[in-house]
Amino acid sequence: MKLNKVNIPLYVIATILFGLKTYIVYRFMFSIELDNSMQEFILLINPFVSAFLIFAISVWFKKQSRQMKFLRYTMLIGTLIVYFNLVFYRSFTDFITIPQIFQGSNAADLGSSILTLIKVYDVLLFADLALVWYLSKKKVDMVAVNYMKRGRVFALAMSLMLLAGNFFLAEMERPQLFTRAFDREYLVKNIGLFNYHVYDAVVHSKVKTQRVFADGNELPEIEEYIETEVKRDETSDLFGIAEDKNVIFINAESIQSFVINNDVNGETITPFLNSLVEDESTYYFENFYHQTEQGKTSDSEFLTENSLYPSSRGAVFFTHGQNEYHAIPEILKDEGYVSAVLHANNKSFWNRDQMYESLQFDQFYGEEAYEVNEENSIGWGLKDKPFFEQSIKYLQSLEEPFYTKFITLTNHFPFDLDEEDRSIEPYDSNSNTLNNFFPTVRYMDEAIEEFFDHLKQAGIYEDSIIIIMGDHDGISANHNRAMAQYLEKEEITPYDYLQLQRVPFFIHIPGHKGGKVMEEVAGQIDVKPTLLHLLGDLYFGNDLFIEDRKGYIALRNGDFISNDYLYTTDVCYDRHTGEEIEIKVDENQEDKNTDNACQPIKEQVEQELGYSDEIIYGDLLRFVDFDEKE
């Protein structure tokens, strides 16, 4: 008896192979936190659900050749999406958003940074694609199927049922997932990478239309919130102490607070910054957090100039570079200040040339303003020491008083440094990134010390206040194992990781007495009101020198740090001890994963982030007459 040949549809094979590959990437290449068996189950099924949904479309092509072609190219596109996200994740511990795709012009300047993120074994991620390609070309008779109408309808119905089931489980595990989606990891974990990208596209379209329909009627509610929840009438003893003085602001690239007053291999990491901590002319904020998201350095600039939160997706510098703002340069211009940014990098990187115009900076001294050659540059460009040395002539050319911002480059991933520039040796761990971080931090510390000397020699130092701020973290969660080794911990917990988001913040006032270490929780959102002490502005931060502050710092993903609590990965911790606070669930409470102690602040954080987004996405400051308000 002759048996009928049984064909295994290629879309089923593709679903199994692609789903398995994607799950392996989720589980072993992304650092996705899984708290329970339900999260593990959802993470397991969602790549197969997404793959079946897409590949099952092939059954609607009547010609087998078109079925095969569709499967080949959709699998190629899907593999590239997974791989590009993986490479991006290795650097930023995050997932790509549509706004970042339009920031692709930045990639041309990344150079060696991208090469360090590509691994030899990555080629294995294309093995299933090669197999499907081979089967669709050489073994068509084994994998092609002629589908009846009911077979096609069944495939469609099954794919939609699986998708609905996935979303149902996701909503059970994470209530209000789509309405409170500040954290991309939660979206990927619950609905999968591909459905996340669809969601991101929908959000992007909504954001782009928000400005068109904004008319200013949104402002009264936001202004009322700021007046009642954010602004304070209190002034400190330091009010006006820097009046008419030059402001020199140093954006210290990628430095984190854990290096301050610390050592590696028995050597002090930051001797000069350590001395500033003890200097009676300096206020050092030891619990100061960066609040950047995907825009990194550009986000830190946006935060400090505007006291608005950055976008949760992409960089505001790119997505809303043409908005109207009321930033520090514009406000100081009315007080007789001239302003400038000095940064030895391409002026179009992060769309700075356009954004600085919107922020009303008077001058931008970019890469073309410096002498850059092979001897004085490495990695991302001009080394910090020659950068500061060459910048002095521009400071001397500016009319006083001036507001200037310096953005350093050397302490930037992948933390390259010539042997002759090393004052301390790299650390010894499984992470070259962390190992090389310490010598570049030390180099930047020495460069800042030399800059202070240059300012004194140029006669600028005494008439200035100098602010030094870490712009964002340099060591991502991908290096937690090495970081645990350095900090002599068994592991880096979510509590530890959020504490590692502290960055140094110094306000140095030459000739002033009374500087000290400030213990209060603070963040980049507070820089603008601290510098200006002005009323009539829209901002979400507080003056760092007053006692009556709102009491918490919000991070862009919805995490927060308050005077008493630290909230991250859906867990509420005691900020001082790091102990997890017992969860008390109210039966009537919709979100049963939220601790009651943190809930009031969490709700306020979400409201504040939402209001900031409204201002940015609607370009609402174009409707405000700040001259009239002041």
Summarize pLDDT for 263-300 with one digit per residue, the tens: 999 999 999 999 999 999 999 999 999 999 988 999 99
Locate 295 and state its tokens: 């825009």
For residue 42, the Cα-to-chain-centroid distance in whole angstroms is 26
Q: Which of 267, 212, 620, 224 is nearest to 439 (CA)?
A: 267
pLDDT above 60: residue 70:
yes
Domains of the chain, first to last: 10-210 (no CATH), 234-547 (3.40.720.10)
Rounded to an integer, the average pLDDT of 588-595 is 48
The mean of the pLDDT values for the chain is 89
Q: Percent of the chain beyond pLDDT 90?
A: 62
pLDDT at 318: 81
Identify whether the C-beta of residue 292 lies closer than 8 Å to the C-beta of residue 525. Answer: no
CA distance 567 to 586: 19
The residues carrying an active-site annotation are: 297
The CA–CA distances, whole Å, from 187 to 167, 175, 266, 339 equal 11, 12, 43, 41
pLDDT-based confidence at residue 367 (cuts at 50, 70, 90) = very high
pLDDT of residue 111: 54
**Residues whose CB falls within 8 Å of the CB of residue 386, separated by 6 or more in sequence, listed in order:** 370, 371, 376
Peptide bond into 414 cis (omega under 30): yes
pLDDT for 455: 98
Q: What would the pLDDT profile of 318-365 be if each residue is shown by its tens digit?
A: 888 889 999 999 999 988 999 999 999 887 778 898 899 999 999 999
- Stated as kind and residue range, the H or E segment containing 110 is none
